[in-house]
Chains A and B, each alone.
Chain A
Amino acid sequence: EAGVAQSPRYKIIEKRQSVAFWCNPISGHATLYWYQQILGQGPKLLIQFQNNGVVDDSQLPKDRFSAERLKGVDSTLKIQPAKLEDSAVYLCASSSTEGSKNIQYFGAGTRLSVL
């Protein structure tokens, strides 16, 4: 079974530039999550999708961050414009249903450096 795919693995940009990350979850997984992991901290949930609908985006900084999952499969997370404090690893995860009991499967992440 293929895992969660993310690209790119690394990205370096200057502040005020835009950046986008892509995630392809495990086939058949209805729930998709985007996390931000700042160095030395645990992952923080940014947004959770159930199919193509948003379940929770309460921790997403909506003035600069956006995410979509148009066809209920792969997803993109965008930052526009980026700030220095956005430097982090962005993790995508998926699970088979929205139920909170379910195990999340994580991708390797995209490491973003904002200069």
Chain B
Amino acid sequence: AQSVAQPEDQVNVAEGNPLTVKCTYSVSGNPYLFWYVQYPNRGLQFLLKYITGDNLVKGSYGFEAEFNKSQTSFHLKKPSALVSDSALYFCAVRDTGGSYIPTFGRGTSLIVHP
């Protein structure tokens, strides 16, 4: 069975500092990995995805994520955080060796302090 873990409920970072939101996964086949962001009272918005190819994926709003197969991780990063990046971030995985049902992590609340 596939699963996603986001080990941190909350990440705090000062504006201008780099940020990392962690995600690890477990699948039987190869993973398709996604990051979504959710602002208050809004639906989830796509940030970036890894399907195949380069391990470093660049996405919207200056975010990027690095796929690490040996560590089964797909951490979300940004070199310089903005207050407006404060939101709920979800990692999701689909298993190419399984049922293709998307599984989401429980989310990480990112708080960027001025």
Contact = CB atoms under 8 A, between A and B. Distances in A.
Interface of A: 3-4, 33, 40-45, 48, 56, 58-59, 91, 93, 100-101, 103-109
B21 to A, nearest CB: 13
B44 interface: yes
Contact of A45 (B36, B102, B106): B102
B104 A43 contact: yes
B102 A106 contact: no
Given A42-B106, A101-B51, A106 B45 contact: yes
A108 B90 CA distance: 15
Nearest to A4: B43
Sorted nearest first, the 7 A-B pairs with minimum C-beta distance are A106-B43, A42-B104, A106-B44, A100-B94, A100-B100, A103-B46, A42-B106
Interface of B: 4, 32, 34, 36, 41-46, 49, 51, 90, 92, 94, 96, 99-107
Given A43-B44, A103-B46, A106-B43, 13 more contacts: A4-B43, A40-B107, A41-B106, A41-B107, A42-B90, A45-B101, A56-B101, A100-B94, A100-B96, A105-B46, A106-B45, A107-B43, A108-B42
B44 A91 contact: yes
B101 A58 contact: yes
A59 B102 CA distance: 12
Given A42-B90, A42-B107, A48 B101 contact: yes
B29 to A, nearest CB: 11
A41 B96 CA distance: 24
Contact of A101 (B41, B43, B49): B49
Nearest to B93: A100
A4 B92 CA distance: 20
